[in-house]
Amino acid sequence: MIITDTHTHLYSDAFDEDRHDMIKRAIAENVSRFFIPAIDSGYTEAMLKLEADFPDHTFLMMGLHPTSVKENYQEELQHVEDMLAKRHFYAVGEIGIDLYWDTSTLDIQKKAFRHQIQLAKQYELPIVIHCRNAFDEIFEVLETEKDDKLFGIFHCFTGTLEQAHRAISYNMKLGIGGVATFKNGKIDQFLKEIDLKHIVLETDSPYLAPKPYRGKRNESAYIIKILEKLAEIYSVSEEKIAEITTQNSKEIFGV
């Protein structure tokens, strides 16, 4: 059984004390494919070191996270462009709009999001979308960018059934993580109405740990709890969930 974590910040300083042990714990649980989202230029070196340490297991993305879209966002976008021109990445991400922390940057967040979608199309790469308190704004941008070259993952999907169908209509898979295990997470109530071919698994570690670890540091090995929950929701084996979601990840990332 091969399990794929499509979204994990393994370079996070939350893992500085035990990064290698934590990754080995995940690999021991058959979690052997880790897709690593970017945040901003301040994390690039740590991402590259992670890849050097675990070259057979880590797959890097490049992008500017919406909460890092500040006054210097054009410099940061130039860094993204330079890195994409220099070497291969597996996606442009994580990118999107976040109106939870700061609504004053909405205009430049939209510009950065749109610019990075266009970069992804240029390099024929998927996008990985971060959306917080911003479904309408995200959909507004996707609507104007939709074409055959637009595809990717709606990371940490926490919307409604209607929003799930709309995200899928833009050639997006839904990234399902720890929220599916929460009592008040809500997505578990309608997830079975979404065909498994549209689902990928993720932890977003070190954030959003699933039950029974909620509130603690998340790690990739805990994706097993998400796998178990989806097996329960879809009434299929854990092996089947792992097989389908890993195949879905291969379709998106090309590896």
140-161 pLDDT per residue, tens? 999 999 999 999 999 999 999 9
Residue 42: both structure tokens together? 């301040």
| Mean predicted confidence (pLDDT) in 204-230 | 97
CA distances from 71 to 77, 79, 81, 115, 250 (A): 12, 15, 18, 16, 36
Q: In angstroms, rounded to a whole number, what is the distance separating the alpha carbons of residues 10 and 14?
A: 9
Residue 64: both structure tokens together? 């500017």
In this prediction, residue 2 carries a pLDDT of 98
Q: In angstroms, rounded to a whole number, what is the distance separating the alpha carbons of residues 79 and 68?
A: 13
| Mean predicted confidence (pLDDT) in 224-248 | 98
Q: For residue 88, what is the enclosing H or E element?
A: none
**H-type alpha helices, the chain:** 19-28, 44-53, 73-86, 106-122, 135-145, 161-169, 223-234, 238-253
Q: CB of 233 within 8 A of CB of 227?
A: no
- Contacts of 192 by beta carbon, 8 Å cutoff, 6+ apart: 233, 234
CA distances from 178 to 14, 26, 46, 71, 217 (A): 18, 16, 25, 33, 12
Q: In angstroms, rounded to a whole number, what is the distance separating the alpha carbons of residues 245 and 201?
A: 6
| 184: containing domain | 3-253
The pLDDT confidence band at residue 185, using thresholds 50, 70 and 90, is confident
Q: In angstroms, rounded to a whole number, what is the distance separating the alpha carbons of residues 115 and 77?
A: 8
Q: Does the N-terminal peptide bond of residue 206 adopt cis geometry, omega within 30 degrees of 0?
A: yes
112: CATH: 3.20.20.140
Identify which of 101, 94, 87 has the alpha carbon closest to the alpha carbon of residue 64. Answer: 94
Quote the strand ranges of 133-206, DSSP E. 152-154, 172-176, 199-201
Which residue bears the tokens 């990840």? 249
What tens digit of pLDDT does each residue of 61-117 get? 999 999 999 999 999 999 999 999 999 999 999 999 999 999 999 999 999 999 999
In this prediction, residue 91 carries a pLDDT of 98
In this prediction, residue 26 carries a pLDDT of 98
pLDDT surpasses 90 at 190: yes
Handedness of CA 54, 57, 63, 69 (dihedral sign): negative
Q: What is the pTM of this model?
A: 0.97
Q: What domain count does the chain have?
A: 1
| Mean predicted confidence (pLDDT) in 34-53 | 98
